[in-house]
Chain A
Amino acid sequence: MLNLTLMESTTAPTKPQFSPAAQAEIKRLLTHYPDDRKKSALLPVLHIAQAEFGGWVSPEVQDLVAEALGLKPIEVYEVATFYTMFNLKPVGKHVLEICRTGPCMLRGSDELTAHLERITGAKVGGPASEDGLFTLKEVECLAACGFAPIVQVREKYYEKLDTPEAVDAMLTELRNQVHRPALPWEEVGLPNSLKNN
C-alpha cells in the first residue's frame, strides 16, 4: 500500500535560483535587445545557467531560464536540445570536449580520445569518471584546426595534445584547479596560439 506520509517527506528538489552576480549579468544582457525581444537573450542566459548549476541544464534549470526571460518552458526546451553546447545530463567536474572533425583527425584526435578514455576511465558519451572529475564528450570542429588535436574545457582551449606529456599537463592543471570558475566570463587564460608569438 502506498505510504503517503513517506512520499510527502521525500523533499521535492529545491527550486534553483540564480546568484546575484548572474542576475546582474542577465539584466545587463537584456539591455542589448529591443524591449519586446527579450527572447534574444536565451542563448547567453543558458550559458550562464549551465555555468551556475554544475555544468548542465536540468529541466528545472531550463524552467528557471524561461521564468527569467518571460518565456514558455517549451521555448527554452526546444532551444536547449538543439544546441550541442548545453549538457542535458549531469556531468563531471570537468567536461573534456574533444574535437573529432577531419583536421583534428588528421593530427591524431582518434588516438587522443582512446588515450583519454584509458587514463581517465571515462567513456565518450558515458558517465563521468569514477572520481567524478572528468566527463568525455566528442564535439565537431572547434575552429582551431591549425593547433590540432584540441580539447576544450569550459572556456579554455588545450591545443596540440599530440603527446602524452601534453595530455598529462592538461589533466594535472585540471586536477589542481581548486577554484572552478562559476561564471562564463571569469578569466581562465588564453590558449598558447593566441598569446603573442
Chain B
Amino acid sequence: MGRKLLTEHINVEGIDTFEVYRKHGGYRSVEKALKTMTPDEVVEEVKKSGLRGRGGAGFPTGMKWSFLAKPEGVPRYLVCNADESEPGTFKDRQLMSKLPHLLVEGMITSSYALGANTSYIYIRGELLYVLRILEKAIAEAYANGFLGKNILGSGYDLDLHVHPGGGAYICGEETALLESLEGKRGNPRNKPPFPAVQGLYARPTVVNNVESIAAVPVIVNMTGDEYAKIGVGRSTGTKLISACGHLNKPGIYEIELGLPVEEFIYSDEYCGGIWKGRELKAVVAGGSSVPILPKELILKTAAGENRLMTYESLSDGGFITGTMLGSGGFIAMDETTCIVRNTWNFSRFYHHESCGQCSPCREGTGWLEKVLHRLEYGHGHIEDIDLLVSVAKQIEGNTICPLGEAAAWPVAAAVRHFRDEFEWHVKHPQEATRPGAVYPGKAVLA
C-alpha cells in the first residue's frame, strides 16, 4: 500500500472546514515557514524535494521558482493553475473540493517563498461550485489569521483570490491563463519574455498547477530530502492519477511514483482491471495529448522491462515506443474500442479548442478532424493516412504554444501503432462503419 501524502485525510468528515483540517495538522507548514525559515530556505527545500510540475510538463518546481525575477519595489505574483481541462484529467477538481484548505495552505507557504503579496487561483469556469468551496476556505483562513496583514505576527502580508475562467482549454497554457486573468481572450503570448520576468500585469509571475502547490506543505513539513526519498530516481514523491475509460474502478488514486503500470491497472487496490471482463486494447497514460500505446507497450517497454508510473519509464523509447506521464490522466480502452473514432474525437477537441492565433494549428487541427472524420465514416482514401502524419508534422513545432503538439502527437501515435486499423476503415468501409464494429487485427508495436 503506497503512502498518501496529499490525500491521507481526504475522506475525514468535515475536512473541508478550517477547524477539522487544522486538527489534522493543517497549516503547520505556514507556521514552520513563516516563523523559522527565510523565503529562500523554502525555495531550497522545494528544490531538494525534486518535485516536478504536476500539470503535465514535469518541469522541476523549485527551479521554476528560482527563475522568478525580483526587482526591488515591483510586486510579483503567484498564480495557481486550476484550469484543469486536459481530457482524462480530473484530479485537481477532487483535491480542491474535498481538501480546499490544502490548496490554500500551499498557496500561503508558496507565496511566502516567492515574496508575493497577492496571489490568485485561476479555476476553470465550469467549476463555479468549487470556486465557492475555495472562497469559503479562504474566508476561514482570513478569519484565523492565516491570510491578510501580518500573518502570524511575521510581518508578511498576503491576499488570496479565486478567479473563474469561461470555458477554454487553452487557458491551461500559462500565458493564455494570464491573458484570461487580465480579462482578455485566451491567446497564448510569445516567449520570451517568460512569465518569471513579465507575467501577470507585466510583473514577475510564477504559475503552478494545483497539485504542485498542494505538495508544498508536505515538502516543508517533512523536508525536501525526505520527500525525495519517495519514488524512483528523478520521479520523486507521490502523484495523483485520474483513471477513466473502460476500467472497473475509475477514479482518483494517489500513487507513489514507481508503481508498475500493470499493478495500477489490474490490482484491486487501484483500478481493478478492465470492465465487463474484457481485454485491454490501448492506454493514453497522461491526458489526451500524450501518445497512445497499445496494451503490450504500456505494460512493458520495447526492451521488455516492466513499465513503471514514472516520468522516465513512461517516456522510455521516446515517441516511437513510449509516451509521457503528463498530467496523470490515465484513459484505458478495451478491445472493442475503435481507435479511429477515438482519434477523431480528440482531434475534434483540439480543433474546437485552438485559439486560432497560429495558422498551422488553426487550419491543421481542422484538417486532422476532417480527414479523420471521413476515415471513420468510411469515405477515406488510403493516402489519407499519410496525409494525417504529414499535417501533424506541419503543426508540430510551428506554433506559439504547445496546443499544436498536443493536437499532433495523438494522431501521429495512433497511426504509428494502429495503421492497420486505419487501413481497414479504408478497405472495408461497410464492415468498419457498422454500429458496434470491432477491428479484428493487432496493433503495430514498433
- Chain A positions within 8 Å of B, measured between CB atoms, are 32, 34, 37, 39-44, 46-47, 69, 71, 75, 78-79, 82-86, 100-103, 105-107, 139-148, 152, 155-156, 184-185, 187-188, 190, 193-194, 196-197
Contacts and interface: CB of A to CB of B under 8 A. Distances in A.
B331 A106 contact: yes
B428 to A, nearest CB: 22
Contacts of A141: 85-88, 169, 288, 349
A197 B10 CA distance: 10
A190 B127 CA distance: 11
Interface stretch (B22-30, B160-168, B400-408): B160-168
Given A43-B183, A103-B245, A83 B125 contact: yes
B94 interface: yes
Interface string B343-358: 0011001001101000
Contacts of B333: 106
Interface in B252-309: 252, 284, 288
Given A82-B168, A82-B186, A146-B243, A34 B129 contact: no
A85 B183 contact: no
5 contacts: A47-B166, A83-B166, A140-B85, A145-B329, A146-B90
A144 B90 contact: yes
Closest 8 pairs between A and B when the two form their complex, measured CB to CB: A83-B166, A85-B167, A42-B183, A39-B183, A145-B244, A146-B250, A84-B167, A32-B161
A21 to B, nearest CB: 15
Contacts of B329: 145
A143 B126 contact: yes
A102 to B, nearest CB: 5
Given A39-B183, A102-B349, A103-B245, 4 more contacts: A79-B185, A84-B166, A105-B342, A142-B126
B183 A34 contact: no
Contact of A190 (B97, B128, B352): B97
A162 B138 CA distance: 36
Contacts of B126: 85, 142-143, 152
B288 A102 contact: yes
B76 interface: no
Interface in B53-99: 84-90, 92-94, 97-98
A105 B349 CA distance: 12
Contact of B164 (A39, A43, A156, A190): A43
A179 B401 CA distance: 44
Given A43-B180, A101-B87, A85 B163 contact: no
A57 B115 CA distance: 39
A169 B131 CA distance: 26
Contacts of A101: 87, 288, 345-346, 349
Interface string B150-182: 000000000001011111110000000000111
A188 B129 CA distance: 8
Contacts of A190: 97, 129
Contact of B125 (A85, A103, A185, A194): A85
Contacts of B246: 106-107
A27 to B, nearest CB: 14
Given A39-B182, A40-B182, A106-B246, A145 B331 contact: yes
